[in-house]
Structure 1
């Protein structure tokens, strides 16, 4: 923090005039970028940055283009933040930009506990505004997404990660079989969901995190915030965890959005769930390669299990009714009573308890967040040791991806359901969809 204070003060002096920096603190969360809150001359700001140019390698565009897009969206009537300055190479803080701080709630749990009455309509309206931005207003460098090419890239990534997860293989094959015709491209935010919007008492206050924006199918944005994972436990409210799909679609169309195609919406719901499953795997790969050695990366890597569960829940309706009603096979019972010297599980438990009692209470800000993530990581290891490490099934994955195996095969859906239930119980036991799936599948 102290290393950032001096160059940030110098930057703000050049950008907005002399002043004093105060209240600098790193905000929790942010899977890809750092966010720092601070005050300058009595006003609040947020620095969004990557610590180095190397961190941005492989991304379709940098922060200069992203900042230009945020400015264009705001000028077009979208509730985007106000960008006040963009970092340059000589500023010594990596790449990024500074925005005026918005006073509103961003925590999905807090928002969804009592969403403002207008929120579902606000979400539909704001997305229609994003999609209506004219092509001429969108800065150069924003890529155009070809859905078929993007799906092929996901498949290649899956194979590079081992190609051994049947639920992901099933989803790839389904997407290939249901690929929609190309749509007239519009500006797609790419990450439009709870966690990336700010809300106050009057409704939606801001749309954040534009780093995944591209030109593509409007239905991609429509579906993304409706994924199970982004409803944060509010599974009875399929649109963002806030309301009904009918109200959401009606608000979007009333604000000028195109007519919603339900089949195209379903494709993107499956596609983006698949995309996030591979995104989680990619974060694990980033840790393994040394590109990002934070403990958060390995924990997010294990959240692949949530998306595998969701993919089976989305796709099991493709199976014959008899297979959907088939009882699940039992889980393997590997429970053992420890004897002798402490087991690996007990040693991990001791370290986890020490972090909880000695480290977490003294930590503040992002350090406290990291302590909680470390405890979560050790909890996963403990449950994995209890259950025994189950191998993935590459042979079945290959058969599903080639179409040689389908959900019409007797007993296959039941096996897939059991596998994703057991895996999610280890990696994300508090995931809301896990309890729902157990009840639906009578596990």
Structure 2
């Protein structure tokens, strides 16, 4: 979504607002509810005492600005890197408390358009999407089969935020009275299992480098769960929490592939979309780590096979990799320094894209294996098979090293797997 910050000057002085809107009508296609219902939900959360923004208006067709709504501006930090560098001492407890408040919003206050998630149906939809994308990524096939085998019984539904993580919260970093300032981005909200929200912010990708702090990159699961329970949250079922940790990691792996599809079909032609499409490798690494923990000890201790041999040093005419390197260097030296704002951001993303292409051309590492994916999806092959976990670990390490070499979980996995 687009967010536009603006000031409105009137007799009482200047007041700050934020307009949240869709960049196009196509962007809203297929969503279970529109901005009017999303705004109504945010209003209900705000009225229930949740630190949600205060909505002051919803766009109509007569406005000629598409779909969206206007909120009073909140001034606080949203960058995970800046927040996690020196977080307020209360932040983890704040997050646990706020999630308990969200889950306690009365059903009668929730707009009727907010859907109820059926976990089995949602998992089947993820499987269908995976097959439509080729069905050839073994780590994703492994995760789908694991989720099918560990599907929990339906839970009493509560309001699930659906995207409760670092990056979607604003934090006051004041030394004396800092803490959680706002919960943003309610577009994925639905009725469902509270454990889905509990797990999502604990995914490795949303810890933003703080791999050793499983709760939001801030602290321990025990402290997080204790804060949630102290604020009236439901008892935490560790097995159910683990299911949702795997499920949402799988969901985001497919979400990254979907970003690539959005670029491919022209829905969102930005270079950022195509780069996020290659972040699937991060989630595949995390899925192998999560599910591999249940493999037999002999398989977890098995030595990994070697990586493919490096390409020979180039001679003669410039190689494709060197041509890409030249373009990347030009962007870094001539384009990026002269760019500002979003143009500068896109220059950096373009450099990242070319970096992926350079590493890909150098190694030739691929993640696709349809035969193995089919066998894992059917349950014909499992992690009890000698050498299979080691093979999946090597593949995940090598692919992530191409697509996301700075991903913090990559270094942690290398150390843990002797890779």
Could you tell me whether the CA contact under 8 Å between 1:52 and 1:93 is conserved in 2?
no
1:38 aligns with 2:6: yes
Secondary structure of the residue that 1:336 maps to in structure 2?
coil
Structure 1 partner of 2:48: 76
Return 5+ residue gaps in structure 1 as ranges. Answer: 1-32
Structure 1 partner of 2:74: 102
Structure 2 partner of 1:256: 232
For the aligned residue pairs, the C-alpha RMSD in angstroms reads 0.9
Q: CA deviation at 1:51?
A: 2.5
Structure 2 partner of 1:47: 19
For residues 390 and 276 of structure 1, the distance between their equivalents in structure 2, rounded to whole angstroms, comes to 20
Structure 2 partner of 1:436: 412
1:129 aligns with 2:101: yes
Instruction: Spell out, residue by residue over 1:291-340, the C-alpha distance to the aligned partner (whole angstroms, 9 max, x if none).
Output: 11110110000000000000000011121100000000000013221122
Distance change in 2, residues 1:77/1:391 (3 Å):
closer
Which contiguous aligned blocks of 4+ residues in structure 1 show a shift greater than 3 angstroms?
Answer: none
**Structure 1, 83-92 or 428-437: larger mean CA deviation:** 83-92
For residues 175 and 398 of structure 1, the distance between their equivalents in structure 2, rounded to whole angstroms, comes to 16
Aligned partner (choices 307, 322, 343) of residue 283 of structure 2: 307
Q: CA deviation at 1:389?
A: 4.4
1:239 aligns with 2:215: yes
Distance change in 2, residues 1:391/1:304 (3 Å):
closer
For residues 78 and 348 of structure 1, the distance between their equivalents in structure 2, rounded to whole angstroms, comes to 49
Aligned residues: 411
Structure 1 partner of 2:377: 401
Describe how 1:162-241 pairs up with structure 2 within 5 A.
162-200=134-172, 201=174, 202-241=178-217
Instruction: Spell out, residue by residue over 1:106-153, the C-alpha distance to the aligned partner (whole angstroms, 9 max, x if none).
Output: 000010011111011100000000000000100121000000000000
Aligned partner (choices 417, 422, 435) of residue 393 of structure 2: 417
Structure 1 partner of 2:402: 426
Could you tell me whether the CA contact under 8 Å between 1:193 and 1:224 is conserved in 2?
yes
Aligned partner (choices 51, 60, 71) of residue 32 of structure 2: 60
Secondary structure of the residue that 1:94 maps to in structure 2?
coil
Could you tell me whether the CA contact under 8 Å between 1:83 and 1:98 is conserved in 2?
yes
For residues 284 and 24 of structure 2, the distance between their equivalents in structure 1, rounded to whole angstroms, comes to 33
Secondary structure of the residue that 1:215 maps to in structure 2?
strand
Structure 2 partner of 1:29: none
Structure 2 partner of 1:377: 353
**Structure 1, 412-421 or 350-359: larger mean CA deviation:** 350-359
**Structure 1, 43-52 or 138-147: larger mean CA deviation:** 43-52
Return 5+ residue gaps in structure 2 as ranges. Answer: none
Secondary structure of the residue that 2:18 maps to in structure 1?
strand
Could you tell me whether the CA contact under 8 Å between 1:164 and 1:392 is conserved in 2?
yes
**Structure 1, 66-75 or 53-62: larger mean CA deviation:** 53-62
For residues 54 and 412 of structure 1, the distance between their equivalents in structure 2, rounded to whole angstroms, comes to 42
For residues 388 and 247 of structure 1, the distance between their equivalents in structure 2, rounded to whole angstroms, comes to 44
Per the normalisation by structure 2, the TM-score is: 0.97
Instruction: Spell out, residue by residue over 1:258-287, the C-alpha distance to the aligned partner (whole angstroms, 9 max, x if none).
Output: 000000000000000000000000010111
For residues 24 and 66 of structure 2, the distance between their equivalents in structure 1, rounded to whole angstroms, comes to 4
For residues 170 and 126 of structure 1, the distance between their equivalents in structure 2, rounded to whole angstroms, comes to 34
Could you tell me whether the CA contact under 8 Å between 2:365 and 2:398 is conserved in 1?
no
**Structure 1, 331-340 or 375-384: larger mean CA deviation:** 331-340
For residues 405 and 228 of structure 1, the distance between their equivalents in structure 2, rounded to whole angstroms, comes to 26
